[in-house]
């Protein structure tokens, strides 16, 4: 890969509603510390009836399209484990909603929460081949579990869109990375299920094993020593997982690592809940929006997808990375969500499934730029909002 390719800009979006986990703790008789300390979560985003993973993805990308145009966008990739069709890619829906050129390839990527990092590597290769092109890469997911299950408080929803190109403004991705793949049944969702199955303890173990393996591979391929990395972003199914990961890396390298430095990476995920593919890049967005001393610093990104694949990449932050407008937009996306109580959240959870053999019209509910309008003839319908 030639020098100077990476993430030029990014944008975060989430659902229109929010559940305060204090309310869920009270409703389930759970000690608050289990959510706030044990998991490191305060809130979780909840979707309105006319929102889904397609509208999240398109909403995340819209500010990038408005700021940078689409003339150089030759490829659209959407990474998700919340796909709405087994054949037609989520990216094709998003392509129309955003008004992208017909001469733009569109594809959906899947490998649990790791898919967006696979997309990033593919995007870097495409841009290296033709530096005049840009890739619009979107990580978007809705985390759903059975109400009343132990995984219920780790639900959430979010999307992060990234514009990948040459001479990037935010993060120049370095060429060396470390990868580890292992067949593990820690988390999966069969085709006949709308909510995932998870072995929580095994998933934590598999995550940490993937981190160790990815780090070892990174070092074997000529990666920099851990002392040369200034900041660390980790995939955060719950933000406490970042602390566990940081401790494992310290143990693996024999170097004391500052856990307090993780705090700027957790601010958005504490409020989003789990956003699967998007959570690592929400951590990066949070770091860029809250750390005033990143210019020229090296950041490590560890991506984990259950099943399992882990990858560690590094990048150097650009001098002009801070954007007050971007930070304000992300803050508004979180602050302007409408609170719901536990009863309403569970109503929305139950109503989110729409079988393809039943035609349904979904009324306007969210006022977002794009909306899920319902199902007609087995096909999902989407509209551009007001």
Catalytic residue selected from 81, 133, 152, 311: 81
The kind and range of the H/E element at 196 are none
* Of 39, 210, 213, 233, the residue nearest 112 (C-alpha): 210
Contact 53, 140 (CB under 8 A): yes
* Of 38, 196, 1, 34, the residue nearest 113 (C-alpha): 196
3-state secondary structure of 272: helix
What values do phi and psi take at 194, rounded to 5?
A: -95, -10
Cα distances from 214 to residues 123, 243, 302, 359, 368, in angstroms, run 20, 17, 9, 46, 39
Across the beta sheet with 231-234, the strand order is: 105-109, 73-79, 134-143, 156-166, 5-13, 171-181, 309-317, 298-305, 231-234
Contact 203, 307 (CB under 8 A): no
Inter-axis angle of helices 279-290 and 263-272, to 10 degrees?
130
Asked if 343 is an active-site residue, the reply is no
CA 136 to mean position of chain CA atoms: 14
Asked if 336 is an active-site residue, the reply is no
3-state secondary structure of 310: strand
The two structure tokens encoding residue 40: 């490191």
Catalytic residue selected from 51, 95, 233, 235: 235
Alpha-carbon gap, residue 38 to 56, rounded angstroms: 28
Cα distances from 319 to residues 2, 11, 140, 267, in angstroms, run 20, 18, 28, 23
Asked if 113 is an active-site residue, the reply is yes
Q: Omega into 151 within 30° of 0, i.e. cis?
A: no
The two structure tokens encoding residue 333: 């996306």
Catalytic residue selected from 8, 95, 113, 311: 113
Question: Catalytic residue numbers?
Answer: 81, 113, 235
């Amino acid at each position: 890969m030639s020098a100077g390719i990476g993430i030029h800009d990014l944008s975060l979006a989430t659902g229109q509603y929010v559940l305060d986990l204090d309310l869920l703790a009270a409703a389930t008789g759970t000690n608050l510390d289990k959510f706030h300390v044990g998991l490191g979560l305060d809130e979780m985003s909840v979707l309105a009836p006319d929102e889904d993973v397609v509208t999240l993805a398109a909403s995340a990308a819209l500010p990038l399209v408005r700021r940078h145009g689409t003339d150089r966008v030759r490829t659209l990739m959407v990474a998700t484990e919340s796909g709405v069709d087994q054949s037609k890619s989520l990216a094709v829906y998003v392509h129309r909603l955003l008004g992208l050129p017909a001469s733009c390839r569109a594809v959906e990527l899947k490998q649990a929460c790791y898919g967006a990092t696979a997309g990033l590597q593919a995007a870097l290769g495409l841009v290296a081949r033709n530096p005049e092109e840009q890739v619009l890469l979107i990580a978007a997911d809705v985390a759903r579990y059975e109400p009343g299950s132990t995984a219920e408080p780790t639900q959430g929803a979010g999307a992060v869109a990234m514009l990948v190109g040459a001479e990037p403004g935010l993060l120049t991705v370095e060429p060396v990375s470390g990868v580890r793949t292992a067949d593990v049944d820690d988390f999966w969702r069969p085709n006949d299920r709308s909510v995932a199955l998870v072995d929580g303890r095994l998933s934590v173990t598999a995550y940490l094993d993937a981190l160790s393996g990815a780090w070892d591979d990174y070092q074997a391929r000529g990666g920099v020593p851990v002392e040369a990395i200034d900041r660390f972003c980790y995939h955060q199914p719950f933000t406490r997982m970042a602390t566990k990961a940081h401790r494992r890396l310290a143990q693996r390298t024999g170097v004391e690592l500052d856990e307090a430095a993780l705090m700027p990476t957790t601010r958005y995920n504490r409020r989003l809940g789990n956003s699967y593919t998007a959570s690592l890049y929400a951590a990066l967005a949070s770091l860029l929006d809250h750390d005033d001393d990143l210019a020229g610093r090296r950041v490590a990104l560890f991506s984990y997808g259950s099943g399992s694949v882990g990858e560690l990449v590094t990048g150097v932050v650009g001098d002009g990375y801070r954007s007050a407008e971007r930070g304000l937009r992300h803050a508004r996306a979180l602050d302007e969500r409408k609170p719901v109580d536990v009863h309403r959240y569970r109503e929305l959870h139950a109503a989110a499934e729409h079988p393809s053999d039943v035609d349904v019209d979904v009324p306007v509910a969210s006022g977002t730029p794009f909306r899920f309008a319902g199902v007609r003839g087995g096909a999902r319908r989407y509209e551009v909002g007001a």
